[in-house]
Amino acid sequence: MRICGPGIRMRIGHGFDSHEFRPGIPLKIGGIVLPHDKGLGGHSDGDVLLHAITDALLGAIAAPDIGALFPPSDPKWKGADSVIFLREALKRVHDAGYSVANVDSSLILAAPKIGPHATAIRTRVAELMGLHCDCVGLKAKTPEGLNLDNAAIAHVAVLLQRRRNSPRRPRHKPAAKKKFRK
């Protein structure tokens, strides 16, 4: 029995990402620059939250992940604005016939404190995703007991819903009942 397919009404996606703190680069989280003495190194601008959201969106429609679409080995993406990746994932979600219902995220990092910036991050993420702020969850945790004070980690879950005007797959016609012959 087929239990999933293009016609499914809702899809869930999960994304995870982590980056190491490095001195001398700006800290970007959720598309905004936060005041801190270190930034996140690695792929593109190191925006750990946008990367995890991008992967959650791509995962929800079973598309190739961020590393496959934008390989870190390609110099083209060195220092790139991660909004580019998010926009590509949103386009793919749209083309697959879905819109984003809501997104929830957890950031795990020792510093800086996210609380004072949480509203600004949620507002920016909502704006980038075409959502209301109430549809963007953000929790911040410290990595207690993990010995990961020099890293930032993001976990994200997204829910997609099929767009009302999206073309549906033709329904499978039930086989006509056989007439009983007398």
Nearer to Zn ion by C-beta: 17 or 122?
A: 17
β-strands 136-141, 98-108: how paired? parallel
- What is the number of helices (H) and of strands (E) in the chain? 4, 7
Contact at 8 Å (CB) between 70 and 45? no
Both ends of the chain: CA-CA distance in Å?
35
Q: How far is the CB of 43 from Zn ion (least distance, A)?
A: 5
Region 84-143 residues binding Zn ion, contact defined as CB under 5 A? none
Q: Is the dihedral of CA 30, 137, 6, 1 positive or negative?
A: positive
Nearer to Zn ion by C-beta: 47 or 98?
A: 47
Stretch that binds Zn ion, among 2-10, 26-34, 40-48, 131-139 (CB under 5 A): 40-48
| Angle, alpha carbons 80-84-85 (nearest 5°) | 95
Stretch that binds Zn ion, among 38-46, 55-63, 118-126, 140-148 (CB under 5 A): 38-46
Q: How many residues bind Zn ion (CB under 5 A)?
A: 3
Site for Zn ion contains 55 (CB under 5 A): no
Stretch that binds Zn ion, among 13-21, 54-62, 72-80, 102-110 (CB under 5 A): 13-21
- Among 11, 17, 54, 158, the residue binding Zn ion under the rule CB under 5 A is 17
The residue ranges of DSSP E strands in the chain, in sequence order, are 10-23, 27-29, 32-34, 38-40, 98-108, 136-141, 151-162
Contact at 8 Å (CB) between 161 and 9? yes
Site for Zn ion contains 43 (CB under 5 A): yes
Q: How far is the CB of 55 from Zn ion (least distance, A)?
A: 9
Nearer to Zn ion by C-beta: 70 or 98?
A: 70
CA distance 177 to 181: 12
Site for Zn ion contains 155 (CB under 5 A): no
Nearer to Zn ion by C-beta: 43 or 92?
A: 43
Stretch that binds Zn ion, among 50-58, 90-98, 163-171, 172-180 (CB under 5 A): 50-58
Strands of the sheet containing 38-40, edge to edge, are: 38-40, 10-23, 151-162, 98-108, 136-141
Site residues for Zn ion per CB under 5 A: 17, 43, 51
